């Protein structure tokens, strides 16, 4: 399992990955570096990088200059061990001794070297971290005679993984909405009344009361705050719940596909009861997939495939199972969740003692260090697709474009409502579903465009909620169905749909 490398994004620390090129004249090899671009400016290419002889001081922490002769390190790159004192102290000591660059070997997950703004100005030499096991490998390959160059090739602004992530989001929302409408059309829901609770044989649930919507969002806020303060305990509860829920969802999706393909359930009689062999085998497959993800969730190279598979199944089953009874409930829920997103991302740093965003810190892990970050990589809250143009991918571990499940599920609930409304009013060509999916696509495109322009991650709901709500409302108004769309409809068995 590869060492985890992670980045903080704050006003003081910007994490970037770079390359350490080592040569002895006959052999060349490259290793991963992590550095802070506010502290260290590195060349953009190998040819422009300055070559330094490397001095091995890995037996020292360099928290003082005692026992280190300036003549040994002057004009050279120095390797020391992490720990004992902060990065700025090590860098200032190395600089005073005349070193040209400082490389800190780390046995822990590599975090960016950070400091106060005033300390950035004191250090003029390059400072970066490398994995200690990489340094040991370099010693085995090159011995003690090494020439090193530090450089950081420019990262392309656009990566094709963004397109893949866009497709995952749009296709999942569209399929989830279509599935919800298909269940409605096939009498999946047997009783439905405006302003009344909805039930179905399949165990579907509905949010039909504004009060219940407010309670639901309040519970989400409470859960996020609890995650912030008790992360190391609750994270395993969330992982266990996700494994169970995603296995169930995957079974539901695959079972529906097999039904669509008219595959036989292959029922057999066991102890006087009928047992479906197909269901037993399918259950075994789904549980196995979830367990494999749970065991290997910290692997970078391939586990993202299972996480995305389980994530798509989870979102699809959620959109099919949970329904909103009318557009009024959709407006209330999506608006509250938008405020929830903005508050915990942008407002909480204003009154938290350390200036942290609760949402970001829960995503990274409250301490954003050590095992917290390893756990973050295993949290089942995002779709992940490897960046295709990541030049350090083979050196520093895979880099990902990510999309939160909430950015699919929250607007997806409105898409599912539009799909069911298509059934209720017998609209041609599923016009409400189609238009809401187009609105979702436009919101996603705008989200990624702003992200690329600002070079900062964006809260997608900030764009998705207005696009989907306004798009669907304008369509209902244009078709003269706004009253029915706002209030929902009375559902009658066998597809007879009437408005009161």
Catalytic residues: 341, 407
Tell me the two tokens of residue 19: 């390359």
Taking each helix axis from N to C terminus, what angle separates 303-321 and 161-185, rounded to the nearest 10 degrees?
A: 30
Tell me the two tokens of residue 58: 């890995």
Q: Tally the C-alpha atoms within 13 A of residue 48's C-alpha that lie toward its C-beta.
A: 8
Smallest CA-to-CA distance from 210 within 220, 221, 202, 218 is with 218
CB-based contact 205:323 (threshold 8 Å)? yes
Residues 339/235/383/442 CA torsion (nearest 10 deg): 0
Query: 349 Cβ partners below 8 Å, 6+ apart?
Result: 355, 356, 357
CB-based contact 338:461 (threshold 8 Å)? yes
Other CB atoms closer than 10 Å to residue 416's CB: what's the count? 30
DSSP for residue 345 = I
- Gap between the Cα atoms of 355 and 357, Å rounded: 7
CB-based contact 164:385 (threshold 8 Å)? yes
CB-based contact 174:184 (threshold 8 Å)? no
Work out the burial of residue 281: count CB atoms within 10 Å of its CB; fewer than 13 is exposed, 13-18 middle, 19 or more buried: exposed
């Amino acid at each position: 399992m590869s060492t985890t490398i992670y980045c903080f994004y704050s006003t003081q620390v910007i994490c970037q990955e770079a390359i350490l090129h080592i040569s002895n004249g006959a052999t060349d090899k490259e290793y991963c570096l992590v550095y802070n671009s506010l502290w260290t400016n590195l060349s953009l290419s190998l040819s422009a990088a300055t070559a330094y002889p490397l001095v091995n001081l890995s037996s020292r922490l360099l928290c003082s200059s005692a026992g280190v002769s300036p003549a040994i390190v002057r004009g050279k790159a120095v390797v020391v061990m992490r720990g004992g004192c902060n990065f700025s102290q090590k860098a200032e000591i190395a600089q005073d001794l005349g070193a040209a660059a400082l490389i800190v070997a780390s046995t822990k997950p590599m975090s960016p070297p950070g400091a106060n703004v005033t300390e950035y100005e004191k250090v003029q030499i390059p400072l970066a971290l490398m994995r200690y096991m990489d340094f040991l490998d370099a010693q085995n390959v090159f011995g003690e005679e090494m020439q090193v160059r530090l450089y950081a090739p420019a990262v392309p602004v656009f990566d094709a993984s963004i397109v893949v992530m866009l497709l995952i989001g749009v296709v999942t929302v569209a399929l989830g909405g279509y599935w919800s409408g298909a269940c409605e059309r096939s009498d999946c829901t047997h009783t439905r009344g405006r302003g009344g609770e909805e039930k179905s044989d399949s165990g579907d649930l509905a949010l039909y009361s504004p009060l219940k919507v407010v309670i639901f969002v309040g519970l989400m806020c409470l859960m996020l705050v609890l995650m912030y303060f008790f992360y190391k305990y609750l994270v395993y509860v969330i992982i266990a719940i996700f494994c169970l829920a995603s296995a169930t969802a995957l079974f539901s999706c695959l079972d529906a596909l097999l039904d669509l393909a008219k595959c036989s359930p292959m029922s057999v009689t066991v102890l006087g009861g009928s047992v479906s062999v197909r269901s037993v085998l399918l259950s075994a497959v789904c549980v196995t997939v979830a367990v494999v993800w749970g065991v290997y969730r910290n692997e970078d190279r391939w586990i993202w495939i299972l996480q995305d598979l389980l994530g798509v199944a989870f979102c699809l089953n959620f959109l099919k199972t949970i329904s909103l009874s009318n557009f009024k409930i959709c407006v209330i829920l999506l608006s509250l969740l938008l405020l929830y997103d903005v508050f915990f991302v942008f407002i909480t740093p204003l009154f938290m003692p350390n200036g942290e965003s609760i949402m970001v810190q829960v995503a990274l892990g409250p301490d954003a260090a050590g095992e917290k970050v390893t756990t973050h990589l295993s949290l089942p809250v995002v779709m992940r697709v490897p960046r295709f143009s990541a030049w350090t991918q083979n050196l520093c571990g895979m880099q990902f474009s990510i999309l939160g499940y909430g950015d699919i599920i929250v607007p997806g609930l409105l898409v599912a409502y539009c799909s069911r409304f298509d059934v209720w009013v017998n609209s041609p060509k599923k016009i409400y579903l189609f238009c809401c999916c187009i609105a979702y696509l436009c919101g996603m495109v705008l989200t990624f465009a702003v992200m690329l322009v600002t070079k900062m991650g964006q809260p997608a709901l900030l764009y998705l909620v207005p696009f989907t709500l306004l798009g669907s409302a304008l369509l209902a108004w244009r078709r003269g169905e706004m009253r029915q769309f706002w209030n929902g409809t009375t559902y009658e068995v066998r597809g007879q749909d009437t408005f009161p």
